[in-house]
Amino acid sequence: MKFIRRYQSDIYGNYRFAALRDGALAGLVIGGVVLFCKLIYYPIYAPENYVTDITLLVATLFFAYRYRSRLPEKRVFFKELMLYGLWLGVVAAVVYGLFLLFYGGVVDKEFPARCLEHFIYGEQQGSGTDEEKAATIAVMRTYRLHTWAFIGAFRTAVMAIMTAFVAALVFRTEKNKVKEKTK
């Protein structure tokens, strides 16, 4: 395994606490954007869409910049920002999933039906045999609000991996040092 480099980096801040705090705020921001869309008569039709993806990206970039700027020496490695971004995304996904439960149960009771309609339309337009499509649609018809909330939270967590990577690339200030070979 000579081709694997081992990097040495320091953690300069308390990224766990910051990620919990900022992740909760990011989840609330995503929920706020969904509420804003509902107020301007553009209710969401899926638990995760481009609006929520862009909001997550902007929130991750903003909070990563804020995290770096609050460090005493403003020094941060890629690894630290990546860990921070991943924790932030997971916490934001959980908060957003809980928000979707509230949103679909209290604010917009047609949300699960709209999601089902959107996904059935997508399945009908997709490729596959009619039997496969019918089986998939039959399973989708069993989905309830908690299923749609889980789908939204899970996809937000997956998108957080990509947004954390982007934020870590953009805002890192230090390059890792390669450790010396040990025999």
Query: pLDDT digit string (tens) for 35-78?
Result: 998 888 877 778 888 899 999 999 999 999 998 888 877 878 78
Query: pLDDT digit string (tens) for 120-149?
Result: 888 888 777 888 888 888 888 888 888 989
Q: Is residue 98 part of a domain?
A: yes
Give the largest CA-CA distance in the chain.
65
Q: Is residue 10 part of a domain?
A: no
Domain of residue 132 covers: 22-174
What pLDDT does 7 receive? 46
Give how many domains the chain has, as a whole number: 1
Q: Is residue 146 part of a domain?
A: yes
Q: Is residue 182 part of a domain?
A: no
Record the tokens describing residue 103, joined without a space.
């949103």
Q: Is residue 58 part of a domain?
A: yes
Q: Is residue 161 part of a domain?
A: yes
Cα gap 77→8, rounded to integer Å: 10
How deeply is 175 buried, as exposed, middle or buried, from its count of CB atoms within 10 A (0-12, 13-18, 19+)?
exposed
Reported as a pLDDT band with limits 50, 70 and 90, residue 108 is: confident
Buried b (16+ CB within 10 A) or exposed e, 40-64: eeebbebbbeebbbebbbebbbebb
Report the pLDDT averaged over residues 82-106: 93
**φ, ψ for residue 177, nearest 5 deg:** -95, 140
pTM of the model: 0.83
Find all residues with CB under 8 Å of 98, minimum gap 6, and list them.
27, 149
Strands (E), the chain: 7-8, 177-178
Q: Is residue 7 part of a domain?
A: no
What pLDDT does 1 receive? 45
Reported as a pLDDT band with limits 50, 70 and 90, residue 32 is: very high
Q: Is residue 12 part of a domain?
A: no
What pLDDT does 12 receive? 57
Question: What would the DSSP string read from start to end of 108-143?
Answer: -TTHHHHHHHHHHHHHHHSSS-HHHHHHHHHHHTT-
Number of Cα atoms under 13 Å in the Cβ half of residue 11:
11
